[in-house]
């Protein structure tokens, strides 16, 4: 059974109405990265960061999985391949489409974590820094999101899966943020064939063996078919 590791980024959720990061209308246009996606930004202005993620959580809840999310779930469900989806996205559209073998390497909007003791619990729709941690009681609640300078989740597992894969596919990511942007090189060094499916050539597009460019709702179902 072929083992396929699939990396997804903001582009796969774009046609579900969730904005990407680095497009002209991308989220960073309204907020500087350092303001909302770093531990330092959170320490400086926790209310702003909580409001930013509360709005993101509401946008994700209002969105629905699209044909690309559904195609990946169908690829896993048909049982002919061992599929692992590693997503950089913090929305839950892969799981709502039916994907089961999924790693949220940058965390999830559905999670809260205590900045004091590290305890994790399901996020309320609206989260506030003053919410007490259910474990230690301290008012240090933050979104369970991996910010710049923090270690993404389950990296050893991801790298092991990459090394053992028969195919690495990258979907809807600009290839600007590490360590995910390095997965194509990691796969290449392990002799794993690579495929890019993206609206346009990504930063690392020349490293891929093959690339197909177009909207995810077209190129992903066409590849899965």
Which residue ranges make up the annotated binding site for NAD(+)?
9-28, 88-91, 172-174, 198-200, 216
Q: Please name the residue ranges forming H helices in the chain.
A: 11-14, 33-36, 39-44, 46-62, 67-77, 93-97, 155-163, 183-189, 216-224
Rounded Cα distance between 123 and 142, Å, is: 9
Which value, to the nearest 10 degrees, does the dihedral of the CA atoms of residues 120, 122, 125, 128 take?
Answer: -20
Residue of 31, 69, 106, 119 marked catalytic: 106
List residues bridging with 8 in a β-sheet: 87, 171
Q: Which is nearer to ligand BJW, 80 or 213 (CB)?
A: 213
Q: Which residue has the tokens 């490293």?
A: 207
Q: Which residue is nearest to ligand BJW (CB)?
A: 11
Does residue 220 contact residue 173 with C-beta atoms inside 8 Å? Answer: no
Using CB under 6 A as the binding rule, whether residue 13 contacts ligand BJW is answered as no
Q: Which of 67, 84, 86, 90 binds ligand BJW (CB under 6 A)?
A: 90
Tell which one of 6, 16, 20, 84 touches ligand BJW (CB under 6 A). 20
In the three-class reduction of DSSP (H, G, I as helix; E, B as strand; rest coil), residue 154 is classed as: coil
Q: In what order do the strands lie in the sheet with 2-8?
A: 102-104, 81-87, 2-8, 167-171, 194-198, 210-213
- The span from the CA of 126 to the CA of 202, in Å, is 34
Which residues are annotated as part of the binding site for Zn(2+)?
A: 114, 117, 133, 136
Distance, in Å, from the CA atom of 49 to the CA atom of 81, rounded to the nearest integer, reads: 40
**Considering only 70-78, 112-120, 125-133, 150-158, which stretch makes contact with ligand BJW by CB under 6 A?**
150-158
- Closest separation in Å from C-beta 68 to ligand BJW: 7
Asked if 120 and 112 touch (Cβ cutoff 8 Å), the reply is yes
Q: Does 66 bind ligand BJW (CB under 6 A)?
A: no
Among 85, 86, 165, 199, binds ligand BJW (CB under 6 A): 199
Question: Is there a catalytic annotation at residue 106?
Answer: yes
Binding of residue 202 to ligand BJW (CB under 6 A): yes
| Total interface residues for ligand BJW by CB under 6 A | 36
CB of 220 to ligand BJW, least distance (A): 8
CB of 207 to ligand BJW, least distance (A): 14
Active site residues: 106
Tell me which residues touch ligand BJW (CB under 6 A).
9-11, 14-15, 20-23, 26, 37, 88, 90, 106, 145-152, 155, 172-174, 176-179, 198-200, 202, 215-216
């Amino acid at each position: 059974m072929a083992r396929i590791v699939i990396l997804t980024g903001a582009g796969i959720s774009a046609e579900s109405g969730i904005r990407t990061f680095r497009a002209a209308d991308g989220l960073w246009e309204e907020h500087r990265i350092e303001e909302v996606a770093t531990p330092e930004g959170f320490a400086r202005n926790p209310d702003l960061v909580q409001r930013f993620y509360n709005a993101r959580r509401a946008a994700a809840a209002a969105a629905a999985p699209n044909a690309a999310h559904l195609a990946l779930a169908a690829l896993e469900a048909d049982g002919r391949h061992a599929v692992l989806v590693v997503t950089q996205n913090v929305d839950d559209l892969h799981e709502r489409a039916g994907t089961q073998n999924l790693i949220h390497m940058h965390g999830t909007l559905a999670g809260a974590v205590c900045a004091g003791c590290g305890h994790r619990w399901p996020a309320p729709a609206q989260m506030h820094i003053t919410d007490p941690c259910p474990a230690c009681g301290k008012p240090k609640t933050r979104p369970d999101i991996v910010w710049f300078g923090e270690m993404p989740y389950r990296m050893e597992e991801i790298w092991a899966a990459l090394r053992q894969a028969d195919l690495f596919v990258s979907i809807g990511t600009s290839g600007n943020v590490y360590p995910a942007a390095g997965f194509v090189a990691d796969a290449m060094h392990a002799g794993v064939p690579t495929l890019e499916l993206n609206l346009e050539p990504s930063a690392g597009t020349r490293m891929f063996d093959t690339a197909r460019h177009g909207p995810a709702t077209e190129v992903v179902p066409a590849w899965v078919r």
